[in-house]
């Protein structure tokens, strides 16, 4: 018997599929898993709500924050890449993507293809 294969949904941040995670929550064009939400919560908890400035932090505090900051950058980059891949699947031109980002067609292609 032929079964229709449903495309697995993936977390836009870590790439795990809905089968690999306990929960997957969807937003417009993106999904996030319970594990990544946990990471986000830890980032929020680690960030003082009244930020006094980088110069007020100790070396240890700054060093401790590096890995979290990098993970945040990587996660955000993943969302951007996923959005662009979706646009490319819809045959939206590199010209249009570049224009939306305020960069040239060539620069958009070099960065995201
Ligand atoms: Zn995830």
* Rounded distance between C-alpha atoms, residue 32 and residue 18, angstroms: 10
Please name which of 49, 77, 54, 52 lies closest in space to residue 65, comparing C-alpha atoms: 54
Mean pLDDT along residues 18-29? 91
| Token pair for 23 | 């929960």
pLDDT tens digits along 24-36:
999 888 999 999 9
| pTM flag (> 0.75) | no
Closest CA to 84 of 93, 73, 74, 72: 93
Distance 73 CA to ligand 1 centre (A): 14
Ligand 1 mean position, distance from CA 52 (Å):
31
Q: Please give the DSSP secondary-structure letter assigned to residue 10.
A: B
With contact defined as beta carbons under 8 Å apart, do 86 and 28 qualify? no
């Amino acid at each position: 018997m032929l079964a229709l294969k449903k495309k697995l949904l993936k977390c836009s941040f870590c790439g795990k599929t809905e089968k690999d995670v306990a929960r997957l929550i969807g937003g417009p064009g993106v999904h996030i898993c319970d594990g990544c939400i946990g990471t986000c919560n830890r980032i929020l908890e680690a960030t003082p709500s009244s930020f006094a400035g980088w110069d007020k932090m100790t070396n240890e505090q700054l060093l401790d924050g590096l890995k979290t900051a990098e993970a945040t950058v990587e996660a955000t980059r993943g969302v951007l890449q996923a959005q662009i891949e979706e646009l490319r699947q819809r045959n939206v031109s590199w010209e249009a993507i570049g224009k939306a980002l305020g960069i040239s067609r060539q620069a958009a292609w070099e960065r995201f293809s």
